[in-house]
Structure 1
Amino acid sequence: MPRDKSQYHRPQPPADPNQEYMTVQETAYVLKCGLKWLRELLRARPELCGRNGERGRIVTDREQRAAIHAVRSAGDPRTGRSIPRQRRRPAARKPALATT
């Protein structure tokens, strides 16, 4: 019987936003970031998370969430830009030359 695994792919609100440990879904909800982005970050930087049991749930504590927030606020390391990118104004149009 297939189980619905959609709960693992969506951020979920925590029971208490100030609790010590949160799952990766609750962490994504609190930090207002995508779950896919957060999982990729935690895969690349395993010191920012812990596991509950052997190969169990990914959990974060307060210090790890603060470090994740600092990484996210630092910007995109690939481009050196802050996130989100600044929108550019369209270039002003030059007036057409008047012909007489």
Structure 2
Amino acid sequence: MATRAYERYGVPIPPENPKQEFMTVQETAYVLKCSVSWLRRFLRKNPCLCGRNGNRGRIVTDREQRTAIHAARSAGDPRTGRAMPRQRRRPAAKPALASR
């Protein structure tokens, strides 16, 4: 069961206007079609791609920052240079030994 905090802050929500200048993390996640938790982790690693608003420090993004987030996300897996991370495979089952 989801907590009230998750229902309030962890679910992407559609913005009133998708072309508005500033958006919250939840609205940005909805527009970029990603999860809020992924976006928060990404912005923690790249603090230059977001801003803070007000005394409580609400995270907001503007148009240029959303474009940069989308470009970084579309670039692929930075660890290996692949377009997409490789799917993990289950190890092949060993053939059963014939009984002698």
Do the structures match in fold with TM over 0.5? yes
* Residue 84 of structure 1, CA deviation: 6.6
Distance 1:55 1:46, change over 3 A: farther
In structure 2, distance between residues paired with 1:31 and 1:22? 12
- The percentage of aligned residue pairs carrying the same residue is 70
Query: Once the 2 structures are TM-superposed, how far is the Cα of residue 68 of structure 1 from its aligned partner?
Result: 0.2
Deviation at 1:75, TM superposition (A): 0.6
- Aligned equivalents of 1:55 and 1:76: distance in 2? 33
Aligned residue in 1 for 2:92: none
RMSD: 1.8
Amino acid at match of 2:24: T
Shift of residue 4, structure 1, vs aligned partner: 2.2
1:83 deviates by 3.3
What secondary structure sits across from 1:71 in the alignment?
A: helix
Q: Computing the radius of gyration over CA atoms, which structure comes out larger, 1 or 2? A: 1
Unaligned stretches of 5+ residues in structure 1: 87-100
Q: Secondary structure at the match of 1:59?
A: strand
Gaps of 5+ in 2: 88-100
Count matched residues.
Answer: 84
> What is the one-letter code of the residue matched to 2:72?
V
Match in the other structure for 1:98: none
User: Contact (CA 8 Å) 1:73, 1:83: kept in 2 or not?
Assistant: no
Q: Equivalences for 1:38-77 in 2 at 5 Å? A: 38-77=39-78
